[in-house]
Amino acid sequence: MKCRKFFRSNSGVSAVEFGLILPFLLILLLGIMDYGYVYLIKLTYTNAAREAARAVAVLDVTTLTQPAAQAAAEPVVDRYLSGIPIPKRPPVQVLAGVTHPDAATTAASVTLTLSNFRAYALIGFVPLPASLTAQATMRWELSSP
């Protein structure tokens, strides 16, 4: 008689169901956090590229060379990325380019590349690209090519 009551009892069913569902909910929550963190890094690198392109675009276009554009862009990128919440910030490859005044439109272009991007996932449950590339281009408004 006691055995029948034991098997018909519903006490503890909610705890068992919660224990079965909890790992899936945690994986979902951690995946959302991981993608949010990756998106934050992507936006920060895109904004750093935009700020560096702006720094290059305000220079004198008639005397600007590739090394000068690179030298103007790198400190801006370093200063902008110093606030990013990555525990160990990796070196970033900065490529700053300029189309010359004889072209139809004079523009400054900055490309940032972060290699080994997968190492910066918080949890590692979600697939990430191997590298992150952010690019920005700004044209000179006041220059006369």
For residue 19, what pLDDT is reported? 92
Q: Domain extents for the chain?
A: 10-139
What whole-number percentage of the chain has pLDDT above 70? 72
pLDDT per residue as tens digits for the range 28-49? 898 888 888 888 888 888 898 8
SS3 sequence, 9-27? CCCCHHHHHHHHHHHHHHH
Residue positions counted in the chain: 145
Alpha carbons 82 and 89: distance in angstroms, whole number: 8
pLDDT per residue as tens digits for the range 115-135? 777 666 777 777 777 778 888
pLDDT at 145 over 50: no
For residue 138, what pLDDT is reported? 82
For residue 116, what pLDDT is reported? 73
Alpha carbons 74 and 92: distance in angstroms, whole number: 9
CB atoms within 10 A of CB 28: 11
